[in-house]
Copies of this chain bind each other. A is one copy, B any other.
Amino acid sequence: MPKISVCYSPASYSLFAETDQVVVVVDILRATSAMVTAFYHGVENIIPVATVEEARDYKARGYLAAAERDGMVLEGFEIGNSPFCYMGEDVKNKTIVITTTNGTKAINVAKNDSSSILIGSFLNLNYLAEHLNELQKNVLVLCAGWKDKFNLEDTLFAGALSEVLIHKFNFESDCDSAIAGMHLYHLAKNDLNKFLENSSHRKRLKKLELEQDIEYCLTLDICPVIPYLHHNELKKLKQCVLKPL
């Protein structure tokens, strides 16, 4: 049986790195939610870069580039990581370069070994679970966290994915962080937004008046796409069909 593990921070990734496992990178508020949204709305490629300098270089070379730090769009860029920036005609069929506080860092941490990397969010959760079940490989959920610290929203996603993989698809787990995530998701699932009311990043975004973003990012299964990393670029898997639950 394949197993599922959960890593709460990019800084701890080396403790969980294994060859031939599938790494699901998640940054619920908001990087990976924005990426999933972008592909669903027709973006062709996403190039995730770790630093603002890299994003600036790409921009100077004519790329559409997005940069977010601490919840805000950086000066010199038009877009950050609000999913609502990735729904329009202006991004359709484009390649977008993205750098964010935590999400793109997590992708870059994981890509230095031979694992396959997929992008997760509540928006594509059950599509992703179906696909992981088809692969039948060990899965690691890599939470982007907040500046290398644990955060609640990524943990809830990790718990939700663990629950589906373990209870629906018979995956195994010997990982305390997966167990904790499942307990927390069980407590939270009837109203994720309310559960997160006291969480640190939700408060941070609330100050920035991003309630609509939060509500959207906590919605289940509205984007039937699975982004994956291929030679430093994110693309979407060709087929993605959700079987009846």
A12 and B12 contacting across the interface, CB-CB below 8 Å: yes
Residue of B nearest to A202 (CB): B176
A15 and B200 contacting across the interface, CB-CB below 8 Å: no
Residue of B nearest to A151 (CB): B176
The 24 listed contacts between A and B (C-beta, < 8 Å) are A8-B8, A8-B150, A9-B12, A11-B11, A12-B148, A12-B149, A15-B147, A15-B149, A149-B176, A149-B177, A150-B177, A151-B176, A152-B176, A152-B179, A152-B180, A155-B180, A174-B203, A175-B200, A176-B201, A179-B198, A180-B180, A180-B184, A183-B184, A187-B187
Within 8 A of B (CB), among A128-185: 146-152, 155, 174-177, 179-180, 183-184
Residues of chain B within 8 A (CB-CB) of A198 are 179
Residue of B nearest to A11 (CB): B12
- A159 CB, min distance to chain B CBs, angstroms: 10
Interface of chain A: mostly helix, strand, loop or mixed = helix
Residues of chain B within 8 A (CB-CB) of A8 are 8, 150
Q: Which of A12, A175, A199, A201 has the most CB of B within 10 A?
A: A12
- A204 CB, min distance to chain B CBs, angstroms: 10
In the complex with contacts A12-B9, A183-B187, A187-B183, A176-B148 CB distance below 8 A: no
In the complex with contacts A12-B9, A147-B15, A148-B12, A200-B176 CB distance below 8 A: yes
B150 and A180 contacting across the interface, CB-CB below 8 Å: yes
The number of chain A residues touching the other chain, given as a range, is 20 to 34
Residues of chain B within 8 A (CB-CB) of A187 are 183, 187
Within 8 A of B (CB), among A1-43: 8-9, 11-12, 15
Residue of B nearest to A154 (CB): B176
A176 and B199 contacting across the interface, CB-CB below 8 Å: yes
Residues of chain B within 8 A (CB-CB) of A184 are 180, 183-184
Residues of chain B within 8 A (CB-CB) of A12 are 9, 11-12, 148-149
- A14 CB, min distance to chain B CBs, angstroms: 9
Q: Which of A146, A155, A179 has the most CB of B within 10 A?
A: A179
- A7 CB, min distance to chain B CBs, angstroms: 9
- A145 CB, min distance to chain B CBs, angstroms: 9
C-alpha spacing A196/B175, complex, angstroms: 12
Residues of chain B within 8 A (CB-CB) of A152 are 176, 179-180
